Chain A
Amino acid sequence: MQFFFEVLIGGLLAGVMYSLVALGFVLIYKASGVFNFAQGAMVFFAALTFVGLQEKTGLPFWIVLALTLAVMILLGVLTERIVLRPLVNQPQITLFMATIGLSFLLEGLSQLIWGSDVRRLDLGLQDEPIQVVMDRFGILISKFDLAAAAVAGVLVGVLAVFFNKTRIGRALRAVADDHQAALAVGIPLQQIWSIVWSVAGFVALVAGLLWGARNGVQFALTFVALKALPVLILGGFESILGAIVGGLIIGAAEKLAEVYLGPLVGGGIEGWFAYMLALLFLLVRPEGLFGEKRIDRV
């Protein structure tokens, strides 16, 4: 039984990591109605920039962090300027494909600038279990996971408040519903989108650091985005809460399946299991856990 809990908590903590990335997707979708496939590439780009700067400059952690954040904000503004502004009123499918193009661009660019070899990323957090929990319950919970979960939790809280309460948050939601209507009301669309993409860049940076620290900064990081997709399906594209809950469910389910279901079928199921789960869920509720039901007005 104990082993079950350990796997469950491990799964939940991994789930937090997923929801962190999913958050980036939700943020941009909620604000600009764009399903940003390049979020994964942004995570990889952020991590690589951070590590690259750390090596090159040798500056302390916090300064490098600030520098990387600046780079990410610049990236956010540039993306809005070059890619999104000309495509303002295009259908969602076109914007979606543009982000696929963006993800390829970012992947190529980051490796061009910083080279493509795998690098260690040390966050000062060790990946060993926490003694006290280990003794009492005998469950192996790595300090790293806990810390990561804490950071993610804080970040999510901040964003939830930001979205629902502040003036900019309301403007973001208006823009998501209808670009033209928002423009008509006088909301500075371009400015709003730059902010949103910068914040998404920040989230990507945090996710990049955490993921990078866990399994090294390398090209595989871009596949993180593919992990986050099922989370979005479960939680619904528009809701932050959905992203969190979805992430936890997927994380836990995946770990449990890997441990229990995997051997029966010959292992390696973590690739598609999350998707099948999400797919089944979709058949029941096509717009996800918290998504609003879309009424087709004729």
Chain B
Amino acid sequence: MLSVDNISLAFGGVKALTDISFDVREHEIRAIIGPNGAGKSSMLNCINGVYSPQRGTIRIGTETFRQMDPNKAARMGIARTFQNIALFKGMSVLDNLMTGRNLKMNCGLLAQALYLGPNRREEIEHREKVEHIIDFLQIESVRKTPVARLPYGIQKRVELGRALAAEPRLLLLDEPMAGMNIEEKQDMCRFILDVNDEFGTTIVLIEHDMGVVMDISDRVVVLDYGKKIGDGTPDDVRNNQAVIDAYLGVAH
């Protein structure tokens, strides 16, 4: 489904990623873990084109890219969430989700100005799909509240909803459970598993909480100081000495 081959990324002198390669299979939950500053988010940003790596290629399906741009990524069915929430503050939850669907809407400008006829049908059709996501994420009661007013945990869920609204093939989740209490974490895990199970979306997940990673991911990549030090199922990663050192902080 997706394969990253010897990607290297540097900001001026700072080497964020050096020679990273790993693949993600269809319908898999692939976790990327590593201590803070290991380059996890940068990796995600390379996949969906926010940063452009100096070396290496990204293969999605059959096409290979040196440089990916966010728009093309979105059109190819890659959606993502951000580490610190990137919701549209000026809009309500419903509008945020509907914006997620804009790739699927193609009514002309004039049709939208008249609103009746084709545009109305399209709005209603997409509204129904968004309502399914709202029902799926159980955020019915905050459907019409402006996003800025919602608590942190709910905002994270809305952002996941917006990414789902684009019906992606590949979903990149950047620390979806950061700053959540146990109950919210359990809910979010259940949502991620349901998304993978019900919609069949492949998921690349960045997460700190070892418990969560070991429970729900099929395979894990471990990064440290921008280098890949581990790859495989949660079990073989758990007793991989390099990974333990990285986390327990053995002197480099």
Contacts and interface: CB of A to CB of B under 8 A. Distances in A.
- Say whether A and B bind each other: yes
Interface of A: 298
A298 B50 CA distance: 8
Contacts of A298: 41, 45, 50, 82, 86
5 contacts: A298-B41, A298-B45, A298-B50, A298-B82, A298-B86
Nearest to B83: A298
Interface in B40-86: 41, 45, 50, 82, 86
A298 B82 CA distance: 8
A298 B43 CA distance: 13
Nearest to A298: B50
Nearest to B51: A298
Nearest to B84: A298
Shortest Cβ-Cβ A-B pairs, 5 listed:
A298-B50, A298-B45, A298-B82, A298-B86, A298-B41
Contacts of B50: 298
A114 to B, nearest CB: 44
Nearest to B82: A298
Contacts of B41: 298
A244 to B, nearest CB: 29
Contacts of B86: 298
A298 B84 CA distance: 9
A294 to B, nearest CB: 14
Interface in B19-56: 41, 45, 50
A242 B29 CA distance: 52
A298 B45 CA distance: 9
Nearest to A296: B50
B169 to A, nearest CB: 22
A55 B251 CA distance: 78
B44 to A, nearest CB: 9
B96 to A, nearest CB: 18
A195 to B, nearest CB: 34
A298 B83 CA distance: 9
Contacts of B45: 298
A191 B45 CA distance: 42
B79 to A, nearest CB: 15
Nearest to A295: B11
Nearest to B70: A298
A192 to B, nearest CB: 29
A215 to B, nearest CB: 46
A295 to B, nearest CB: 8
Interface in B127-152: none
Contacts of B82: 298
A129 B106 CA distance: 68
B87 to A, nearest CB: 14
B199 to A, nearest CB: 25
B48 to A, nearest CB: 10
A268 B10 CA distance: 51
A46 to B, nearest CB: 40
A169 B251 CA distance: 42
Nearest to B45: A298
A142 B50 CA distance: 56
A90 to B, nearest CB: 14
Nearest to B11: A295
A298 B172 CA distance: 14
A5 B141 CA distance: 74
A53 to B, nearest CB: 49
A298 B41 CA distance: 9
A245 to B, nearest CB: 26
A241 to B, nearest CB: 23
A176 to B, nearest CB: 23
Nearest to B41: A298
A91 to B, nearest CB: 11
A178 to B, nearest CB: 16
A104 to B, nearest CB: 28
Nearest to B50: A298
A137 to B, nearest CB: 49
A85 to B, nearest CB: 24
Nearest to B42: A298
Interface string B102-128: 000000000000000000000000000
B185 to A, nearest CB: 24
